[in-house]
Amino acid sequence: MKRVLSLATLYPNAAAPRFGTFVARSLEALAARGDWQVTVINPIGVPPVAFGRYRALKAAAIDGVEHGVEVYRPTFPLIPKIGGRINPGLIARAVLQLARRLHAGAPFDLIDAQFFYPDGPAAARVATELGLPLSIKARGADIHYWGAQPQAHEQMITAGRQAAGLLAVCGALADDMATIGLPREKIALHYTGLDRNRFRPLQHAQLRRRLGRELKIALPDGAPVLATVGALIRRKGQALVIEALSHLPGDTVLLLVGRGEDEAALRSLARTRGVADRVHFLGSLDHDLVPLVLSAADAMVLPSSSEGLANAWVEALACGTPLVITDAGGAREVVTAPEAGRIVARDPLAIADGVRELLEDPPMREATAALAERFSWQANAAALAQYYESLLA
C-alpha cells in the first residue's frame, strides 16, 4: 500500500465541523479504496493570544483517526488579516518535525497540498526536506485571490515549478492557473465528488412543512423558494440575491445557508429593501438538513464573482434543483443543458430574470438530477488514485 501525506488547512475540526468537508470526503474516499494509506496534517492557525473563535480552534487541535484517515493538528502562530504572506513559512516550521517523525516511522511516497496557498509553498518545503514528489491542488480562491498578491504569487510559482503534478477542480481554473504563470503541462483536472445517498431529489407533499418545523420558519406550500448555499462573504454575492428578491413575486422566500462576516450587512440590506420577512438566515446547517433545503427550493442561486467548481452547484443539481449562477469558474462545465438552470450576468435584474424563467417553466427534477450522475466520491477517489500513481511512475 502506498502512503500519501496531505497538508490541508481546509479540513473540518471540532470547532468548525463544516469547514473543508469536501476535502475530508475526498481523502476518506481515497483511504477507503485500500490502495493508498492517507495521513493528513491539518495545521490550525492560532494568534499569540487565543481570543474569541480562536480559543475554540486551539482547543480543537486534537489528533485522531477520523473515518479511516490519520489526522494530526499542530498549531502555528497566526497574525489575523495581515500575516498571509508569512503563513507558508510558519506552517512549514510547525509541521516539519512531525512530518519527519511520521516519515521515519513509515515512509511516505508522496507529499500533497489540498489548497494552493498557503498549503502549497509549505508542502513544497516538506517535500524538499523528505526528498519526495509533490502534488498541489487548486480550488478557486487560492488562485484568484492569492495569485493576485505579489508575495504569495511568487511563492506559488516556485512551489508549482517544484511540483511533479498540479490539480484543478475544473478546466476554467486550469486556464486561470496557466494565466498566472503556473506550468499548464503539469495540470490535471479533478472534479469534486458527491454523497449520492444524501443528495437526491426528496420531493413529497410534506417536505416544506417538515423543513419549516425543523428550521422554525414559515414555508408556504405554494410560495417560490430560493436557496443560496455558501459562506456569507462578498464574493458569493448574497447581497445581489437579496436585491433580486425585490424584483420577484412578493411571496418569494430566500433561504441563506452559511455563516460569514457579511451577515450583519446582509440583514441590514434585507431590511432596507423591505424583504427582511422573506429572507431567512439559517446559519451552518447539519449536513442532513442541506438536502432538504435544496430539495424544497425551486432554484439554487449563487452569483459568485469567482469560483472553482462549487460543491453547492453539484449538490443542488443532485437534489433536482436548477441553478441560477454567474459565469464564474467551472459554471459552464456544470450548466451543460437547460435543465441545469441558467448562467446570468452578475446583476440583480439579470438574476431575477433567470429565476423568473425557471419559475415560469421549471425543468423536470429527474432531468436536473441526471446531470449530476457523473459526480461521486468513489469516482473522485479513483481519479485521485490514478493521478497519484502517475506521479510515481
* Tens digit of each residue's pLDDT (9 = 90 or more) over 134-153: 999 999 999 999 999 999 99
What is the model's pLDDT at position 127? 98
Same domain, 365 and 380: no
Q: Is 109 helix (H, G, I), strand (E, B) or coil?
A: coil
Same domain, 245 and 340: yes
Same domain, 81 and 172: yes
* 256: amino acid identity, one letter: L
* Residue 21 within any structural domain of the chain: yes
What is the model's pLDDT at position 206? 83
* Residue 110 within any structural domain of the chain: yes
Same domain, 152 and 272: no
What is the model's pLDDT at position 2? 97
Same domain, 172 and 245: no
Nearest partner of 200 among 58, 41, 314, 309, judged by Cα: 314
The domain that holds 324 is classified in CATH as: 3.40.50.2000
* Residue 115 within any structural domain of the chain: yes
Spell out, as residue ranges, where the chain has pLDDT lower than 50.
none
Same domain, 232 and 153: no
* Residue 202 within any structural domain of the chain: no
Same domain, 211 and 108: no
131 close to 103: Cβ distance less than 8 angstroms: no
What is the model's pLDDT at position 244? 98
What is the model's pLDDT at position 79? 87
Number of domains in the chain: 2
| Distance, CA of 34 to CA of 25 (rounded, Å) | 15
What is the helix (H) or strand (E) element at residue 179, kind and residue range? helix 171-179
Same domain, 159 and 279: no
What is the model's pLDDT at position 81? 79
Same domain, 334 and 317: yes
Identify the domain containing residue 92 by its residue range.
2-193+376-392
What is the model's pLDDT at position 344? 98
Same domain, 174 and 84: yes
> Which three cell numbers mark 244?
433580486
* Residue 333 within any structural domain of the chain: yes
Q: What one-character-per-residue DSSP string does 281-347 give?
A: EEES--TTTHHHHHHH-SEEEE--SS-S--HHHHHHHHTT--EEEES-TTHHHH--SGGGEEEE-SS
* Residue 201 within any structural domain of the chain: no
Same domain, 14 and 145: yes
* Residue 200 within any structural domain of the chain: no
What is the model's pLDDT at position 289? 92
Same domain, 272 and 185: no
What is the model's pLDDT at position 83? 82
